[in-house]
């Protein structure tokens, strides 16, 4: 149920809040935080390692959503021609991009390792 509601919320953000990037980013990060809290508190799976895996996955996805702030003008409430993006240094953007790739690689590695073991 939460999986479907979360996907509907993302679709709603894309369709109805296309001009409010700051709200999209904030709601997405808040959604990831609430999902992490829900899984940690209620432990929805019967098998304990599945709850732990879901906690790890949600944490990694949440940490991945925080990279969005670097790549967008999400803190600007009104359009500003002087600010094209949050990080103006190309070298820093590249380094942050690599850390984001490492994070995504870790997500893939954890899930493939679990599939191989189970």
Q: What is the pLDDT of residues 39-97, one digit of tens each?
A: 999 999 999 999 999 999 999 999 999 888 777 755 555 556 655 555 566 777 788 88
Residue with tokens 């808040």: 30
| Domain spans of the chain, in order of start | 2-117
What are phi and psi for residue 113, nearest 5 degrees?
Answer: -65, -40
What's the rounded Cα separation, in Å, for the pair 15 and 30? 19
Predicted pLDDT at 82: 59
Are 36 and 57 a contacting pair, CB within 8 Å? Answer: no
| Reported confidence tier of residue 116, pLDDT bands at 50, 70, 90 | very high
The predicted pLDDT at position 84 comes to 55
20: left (phi over 0), alpha (psi -120 to 50) or beta: beta
Residue % of the chain over a pLDDT of 70: 84
């Amino acid at each position: 149920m939460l999986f479907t509601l979360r996907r509907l919320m993302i679709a709603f953000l894309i369709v109805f809040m296309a001009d409010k990037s700051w709200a999209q980013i904030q709601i997405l990060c808040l959604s990831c935080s609430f999902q992490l809290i829900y899984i940690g508190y209620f432990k929805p799976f019967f098998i304990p390692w599945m709850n732990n895996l879901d906690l790890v996955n949600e944490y990694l996805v949440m940490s991945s959503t925080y990279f969005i702030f670097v790549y967008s003008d999400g803190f600007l409430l009104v359009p500003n021609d002087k600010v094209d993006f949050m990080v103006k240094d190309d070298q820093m953007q590249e380094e942050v991009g690599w850390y984001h790739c490492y994070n995504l690689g870790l997500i893939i590695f954890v899930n493939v390792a679990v599939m191989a073991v189970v």
